[in-house]
Amino acid sequence: MTTTPSTERPASTEPQDETVRAILDHHGRLGRTMADHAVTIARSADRLVSPAERQARLVEFCASEVLPHAAAEEKTLYRAAAELPSGKPLVAAMAREHLRLRDLIVELNEARTPGEVTAAAGALNALFQAHLDKENEVLLPLLVEAGIDLGGLLAGMREVLGGSGCGGHCTCGGHDDPGTPGASAEVVDGELDVRALVPAQRHEQIFAAYGALPDGAAFVLVNDHDPKPLYYQFAAEHTGRFTWDYLESGPEVWRVRIGRA
């Protein structure tokens, strides 16, 4: 995709602001999840507990979210920034950081001792947090100042916008069905079926249902796609306080038992 920079801002800055906010929110969730995994791995090593389970989860998170996010950015945000006079050196440096992130993920996957796992996770987290800061504080302002239409550039890009790609309001994954406006959902016979909800409402209902659970209780989430991104949000915001068990995994219906530990 080739984007021609403009010296004029879009007629309305509100959509631009919404898109920037969606990107920042998604960056925040990715950063929190990465940090949670790295800290948990370090604490496991300190307690002489094997970090292997969390190591595997961090590698999976990187493979399913971090690397696709980086690849999508290179095709959109980075390509647009590279066309700006001051953007080429920045993009070149940040693309090199993507390569280093990939190398660290491989190192983490191949680490065998608790010390190796902790060191790889720590290095990965440090680089990722610094990289997100550069994107938030340098890359995005550069694109906005140049008048790049981020909403048009990133239309439908869930990997960059987070959630459904509809402005970052939903973080539970991709949506094939746009839902029914005005529909509602509640836990009935232990199940919360969110398939009729519009994407922007799904995560709100899911977290409300979780918040209403007493200790040790659970409900079954019924969805039209794999809600794996929602799992990472739970991992970031409710670390060690929830359970997650797949009961059915598509191809048309997913059922996940979500409980309060």
Angle at 246 between CA 224 and CA 186, to 5 degrees: 55
Task: Grade residue 65 by pLDDT with cuts at 50, 70 and 90.
Answer: confident
What SS3 state is found at 84? Answer: coil
Q: Give the Cα separation of 58 and 28 in Å (integer).
A: 16
What SS3 state is found at 116? Answer: helix
**Listed residue (148, 146, 108, 150) closest to 127, CA to CA:** 108
Q: Where does 191-260 sit in CATH, by number? A: 3.30.110.40
Size of the chain in residues: 261
| Distant-in-sequence, close-in-space partners of 185: CB < 8 Å, separation ≥ 6 | 192, 193, 194, 196, 197, 205
Q: What is the mean pLDDT of the chain?
A: 83
Higher pLDDT, 230 or 101: 101
The predicted model scores a pTM of 0.59
Residue 66 contacts residue 101 (beta carbons within 8 Å): yes
> pLDDT per residue over 1-40, tens digit each?
444 444 343 444 478 888 899 999 999 999 999 999 999 9
Q: Give the Cα separation of 261 and 234 in Å (integer).
A: 12
- Tokens matching residue 9: 């801002």
Which CA distances in Å does 229 have to 75, 125, 162, 257?
Answer: 22, 19, 9, 15
Ranges of beta strands (E only) in the chain are 191-193, 218-223, 242-249, 254-260
Q: Give the Cα separation of 51 and 120 in Å (integer).
A: 12
Instruction: Quote the pLDDT of residue 258.
Output: 95
Instruction: Quote the pLDDT of residue 89.
Output: 93
